[in-house]
Chain A
Amino acid sequence: MDKTNAAFEPRIVAFLCRWCSYAGADLAGVSRLTYPANIVPMRVNCSGRVDTEMVLTALEKGADGVLIGGCHPGDCHYVSGNYKTRRRVVLLKQALSEVGIDPRRVHLEWISASEGIKFQSTMTSYTELIRELGPTPVRQRKEPVHG
């Protein structure tokens, strides 16, 4: 498949922590800041709730990209959940490289409740990045197996 295929529409799942990034997405909405419609947001209480298994599930089910949005370091509503996420994501990215999946398909970003503009720019640039990376190799391999 042509990786620069313009018809390719990335499928991206975004896990957004309720206190910062989800609220940042709300602010982007209130401010009418437009961004691509490729991302399906999911609200979790804390980015610390996003375990590696959930990210892998998303990749396995055909996500071209997985985005995790959390509070800035030091601002976690639950004290330290975002630090745990940061560590998990570092390890996960290493593991992904080893199995041949571009680690950029998983992305962690700190977006506060007051950063509507950052939410918009992150969604836009991440969708573009995934568009460049092309469709996930997992989906292509997976389909014949599971029929």
Chain B
Amino acid sequence: MSSPRIGVFVCHCGLNIERTVDTLSVSKTLRQYSGVAFVSDYDYMCSDPGQQLVSDAIREHRLTGVVIAACSPAMHEPTFRRAADDAGLNPYLVEMANIREHCSWVHLDRSEATAKAVKIIKTMVEKVRGNHPLDPVRIDHVDKCLVIGAGITGIQAALDVADAGFEVLLVEKEASIGGHMAQLSETFPTLDCSQCILTPKMVEASRHPNIELMTYSEVLNVSGYVGNYTVKIRKNPTYVDPDKCNLCGDCEKVCPQSVPSEFERGLVDRKAIYIPFQQAVPSTYTLDERSCLGLHPLRCSECAKVCEPGAINFDMQPTILEEEVAAIIVATGYDMYPIVNLGEYGGGDVANVIDGLQFERMLSASGPTGGQVRRPSDGRVPKRVVFVQCAGSRDPENHNAYCSKICCMYTAKHALLYRHAVADSEAVVFYIDVRAGGKGYEEFVQNATEHEKIRYLRGKVAKIYQQDDKVMVWGVDTLSGKKVEIEADLVVLAMSMDPHPSTRALTKTLKISCGGEGFLKEAHPKLRPVESLTAGIYVAGAGQGPKDIPESVAQGSGAASKAIALLTQDKLSHSPETVSIDEEICGGCGVCVGMCPYTALSLTVSGVAECNEVLCEGCGTCVSACPTGAAQLKNLTDFQLREMIEVALSDG
């Protein structure tokens, strides 16, 4: 191979680099460095003229490698690799030397920063010297998308992908799709009936020719890689054949077992055999094996006796389905922060202290009270209701530190709907701040405070407890500085939003991450909000962070568009910076095979290791374990690393 001709391009980044790194001196030093054929510096290397400078130099000076000394590779590595490609240089011969984030921005002393910048650039020159031209690995992919969670976010994502002409597998853990939105009465700020706008979408999702719906099902395992994930899903037995069930409801009437209804938030009971709600999709009964008397060991079978179509089958078994999908959208949603955690507010203790979702069920025409507000303790209509915002939110010492975002709005809605529902009623709202950012939101709250005679008290509630028939609320009105004591008939806590409890386990299965508070982590908080760091896995909805319906729908559509962009590609590209095995050196010990988390390595019949570059993600764990040095990471070999270390530690 002829001697290397490496070009070094030093960016000033305006003053971002130039202020602390003497780019002129850096350029001068690099000109003397072995293998460097060309050095240039420029104000903004990423600008069009900057890129042109790089392309021109590649052609003019017949460069065999390029080091861009500028910002983090996370910013502009693709930019310059593309520019090099256009100029006829293999993109994998281009590397970024990060002298901004790792140098000019974090050091104050100009001479120290300049010396460090030189070292960083020299390590990258050494890397480029050892790099080889590579071509992306092209892989085929299947044409299917998995959507996990069928609340409004998942439904929207599934419909969008399906409408684009791709098959979708929509998996929901509960017996019906619809999620929390199905539980709501009206939605802020327009007061649309929640079910009226949701149920058409639920039906559409269930009837769409491209959507396969799997309810009462869970994702057990995911393996593979972008474009070719293998997912294992367990469909739990419902013990009712949906094709035979005619929804007569006879089974429910005779079932002797009652448990609190999850959908009605425990305000009423349901039977062991039940339909979650009238508009449930799929429209069928489900036998909950945890509460049924009859499954094991002795069968009560009252339901089966009365079921005329013979839809009930006690011998139904869980089925495991294995599917290949190209992309996965995770829309696992939220759960309410447990009310029992709020002992100071009588949560779980005082019957007439309820959470916001319970109040939604009361307001809902299809709810247990038929839309009438009633006290859980005695069924009386409450004349004075206190609403407490930030219950479990914005309280880093005791509860969640974050703002749950939707509670200000739904509390205003609750108070307003309550005032409309009950004549001569009094609504009091305790708030820390009112956060009403959103189209029409502030106007909605203003209307509630000004025209609906809802009393807003600024301050935190200290204590809520039962006194005789009433619920006592102690708080402070921080605007007047006075203690407030209110005798309420009912208290509604605007509970904090938690990520759904299943989220953390699922992130382990999918090998994506969640933040400290347990919400799904996005690849970039601003610019890549619906992508995970794993290619082909997307996140959307309230599982990613507290959000309301319009935002959830937008994220569902956003994630869908990302998945569609992937599905429409003919072939997918995979980084070629994978592991290669030198068969001459490999002793066939097989240590690497056990190290690989992707089963990319195997032993061939001739007794040497072999790497499947489609499966290899390039982590290099096997390289570290290989006792002979036969396993090497392309473009970051042991040899390259040693050279880089040497120059990093050299004197000048």
Chain B 633-652, CB-CB to A under 8 Å as 1, else 0, gives: 10010100110111011000
Option from A19, A61, A79, A120 in Cβ contact (under 8 Å) with B649: A61
- Whether B40 sits at the interface, judged by CB under 8 Å, is no
- Whether A48 sits at the interface, judged by CB under 8 Å, is yes
Distance (whole angstroms) from the CB of B469 to the closest CB of chain A: 50
A37 touches B620 (CB 8 A): no
A42 touches B644 (CB 8 A): yes
- Whether B107 sits at the interface, judged by CB under 8 Å, is yes
Chain B 573-617, CB-CB to A under 8 Å as 1, else 0, gives: 000010000000000000000010100000000000000000001
With A58-B645, A63-B649 known to touch, is A84 a contact of B625 (CB < 8 Å)? Answer: yes
B533 touches A34 (CB 8 A): no
Nearest opposing residue in chain B for A78, CB measure:
B619
A45 touches B618 (CB 8 A): yes
Distance (whole angstroms) from the CB of A111 to the closest CB of chain B: 13
B101 touches A29 (CB 8 A): yes
> In the complex, which residues of chain B have a beta carbon less than 8 angstroms from the beta carbon of A25?
101-102
> In the complex, which residues of chain B have a beta carbon less than 8 angstroms from the beta carbon of A19?
533
A56 and B115 CA atoms in complex are apart in Å by 24
Chain A 63-80, CB-CB to B under 8 Å as 1, else 0, gives: 100000000001101111
Within 8 A of A (CB), among B311-335: none
B625 touches A51 (CB 8 A): yes
- Whether B129 sits at the interface, judged by CB under 8 Å, is no
Distance (whole angstroms) from the CB of B398 to the closest CB of chain A: 24
B533 touches A26 (CB 8 A): no
- Whether B113 sits at the interface, judged by CB under 8 Å, is yes
A80 and B98 CA atoms in complex are apart in Å by 27
> In the complex, which residues of chain A have a beta carbon less than 8 angstroms from the beta carbon of B645?
13, 42, 54, 57-58, 61, 63
> In the complex, which residues of chain A have a beta carbon less than 8 angstroms from the beta carbon of B625?
51, 84
> In the complex, which residues of chain A have a beta carbon less than 8 angstroms from the beta carbon of B597?
78-81
Q: Which of B116-124, B373-381, B484-492 contacts A (4 or more CB under 8 A)?
A: B116-124
A53 and B625 CA atoms in complex are apart in Å by 10
Distance (whole angstroms) from the CB of B310 to the closest CB of chain A: 48
- Whether B4 sits at the interface, judged by CB under 8 Å, is no
- Whether A32 sits at the interface, judged by CB under 8 Å, is yes
A88 and B591 CA atoms in complex are apart in Å by 15
Option from A13, A77, A88 in Cβ contact (under 8 Å) with B648: A13
A41 touches B624 (CB 8 A): no
> In the complex, which residues of chain B have a beta carbon less than 8 angstroms from the beta carbon of A40?
116, 119-120, 123, 648-649
> In the complex, which residues of chain A have a beta carbon less than 8 angstroms from the beta carbon of B619?
45-46, 48-49, 77-78, 81
With A34-B106, A88-B624 known to touch, is A79 a contact of B115 (CB < 8 Å)? Answer: no
Within 8 A of A (CB), among B521-551: 533-534
B617 touches A78 (CB 8 A): yes
With A34-B107, A42-B648, A58-B649 known to touch, is A49 a contact of B113 (CB < 8 Å)? Answer: no
A26 touches B101 (CB 8 A): yes
> In the complex, which residues of chain A have a beta carbon less than 8 angstroms from the beta carbon of B73?
43
A29 and B107 CA atoms in complex are apart in Å by 9
- Whether B105 sits at the interface, judged by CB under 8 Å, is yes
B101 touches A62 (CB 8 A): no
A114 and B648 CA atoms in complex are apart in Å by 27
- Whether A106 sits at the interface, judged by CB under 8 Å, is no
Nearest opposing residue in chain B for A139, CB measure:
B649
Distance (whole angstroms) from the CB of A137 to the closest CB of chain B: 15
Within 8 A of A (CB), among B81-135: 98, 100-103, 105-109, 112-113, 115-116, 119-120, 123
Distance (whole angstroms) from the CB of A74 to the closest CB of chain B: 7
- Whether B446 sits at the interface, judged by CB under 8 Å, is no
Query: Looking at A53, A57, A78, which has the most chain B CB atoms within 10 Å of its CB?
Result: A78
A37 and B638 CA atoms in complex are apart in Å by 26
- Whether B28 sits at the interface, judged by CB under 8 Å, is no
> In the complex, which residues of chain A have a beta carbon less than 8 angstroms from the beta carbon of B638?
51, 53-54
- Whether B72 sits at the interface, judged by CB under 8 Å, is yes
Closest 3 CB pairs of A and B: A29-B101, A49-B620, A51-B624
Q: Chain B residues in contact with chain A, CB under 8 A?
A: 72-74, 98, 100-103, 105-109, 112-113, 115-116, 119-120, 123, 508, 511, 513, 515, 533-534, 577, 595, 597, 617-621, 623-625, 633, 636, 638, 641-642, 644-646, 648-649
A-B contact pairs, 29 of them (CB 8 A): A11-B648, A13-B645, A19-B533, A26-B98, A26-B102, A29-B72, A32-B105, A33-B106, A34-B107, A37-B109, A37-B116, A40-B116, A40-B649, A41-B98, A42-B641, A44-B636, A45-B617, A45-B618, A45-B633, A48-B619, A48-B620, A53-B638, A54-B624, A54-B638, A57-B645, A77-B533, A78-B619, A80-B621, A81-B619
| New contact pairs (20) apart from A40-B123, A54-B624, A84-B595, CB-CB < 8 Å | A11-B648, A11-B649, A13-B645, A26-B74, A26-B102, A29-B102, A34-B107, A37-B103, A41-B98, A41-B102, A42-B645, A44-B620, A46-B619, A46-B620, A46-B621, A49-B620, A52-B624, A78-B621, A84-B624, A120-B106
